[in-house]
Structure 1
Amino acid sequence: MSTTTTAAELTTWLTDRVAFYLEIPAEQIAPDVKLVEYGLESVYALALCGDVEDEFGIEVEPTLAWDYPTVEALVGLLRERLATAATTA
């Protein structure tokens, strides 16, 4: 994905990653429900940080899933970070 990735694309990507770790269908994940309510464990939250860094080439804090506890909140953060990366590149 690139710095011009849309919110919908980010939502789909994040939902798919979370669904992979939780071993549930992506359709069962609502963007406004806290990931801990689905049972996302800390080891998977850290793996998600690595996925974000690898996919988008930006650094994120290891507390990402706690600081931004929903897919919706994560999308907001990623859009901000990607916009910043685009303007400083």
Structure 2
Amino acid sequence: MSLPLSPHGTAPLHGTAPLHHWLTDRLAVYLDRLPDTIDPTVPLAEYGMDSVGALSLCGDIEDAFGIAVDPSLAWDHPTVVALVAHLSSRGVVPAPGGAR
């Protein structure tokens, strides 16, 4: 799996690999795909992300990191890169060994 990129897709975001991996693993469940097949720059809707998956992801984020997120999170930040950048800006960091 490649390193997460900046929101512009040009350079890796430093220190976000654990969040990128956690998020990609969660998305793989909702998208019924292997994590390595999720391109971090492709909109999640192109993989079939629906509102049920998006709301479930929000619940996972809230449970794992103790922050409230808007139900439109996956639509406002439609790629893994954008989600990682947004969550990182809010201070989200998975615990060693992964969240949950």
Structure 2: 5+ residue stretches without partners = 1-14, 93-100
1:86 matched residue in structure 2? none
Q: Deviations over 1:47-86 (max 9, x none)?
A: 0000011111111100000000001100011111117xxx
Structure 2 counterpart of 1:35, one-letter code: L
Higher helix share: 1
Displaced runs of 4 or more, over 6 A: none
Superposition map of 1:1-89 within 5 A: 6-82=15-91
With normalisation by structure 1, the TM-score equals 0.84
Q: Distance in 1 between matches of 2:73 and 2:42?
A: 15
Give aligned-pair identity as a percent: 56
- The structural deviation recorded for 1:43 is 0.4
With normalisation by structure 2, the TM-score equals 0.75
Structure 2 counterpart of 1:46, one-letter code: L
- The structural deviation recorded for 1:22 is 1.2
Aligned length: 78
**CA-based RMSD:** 1.0
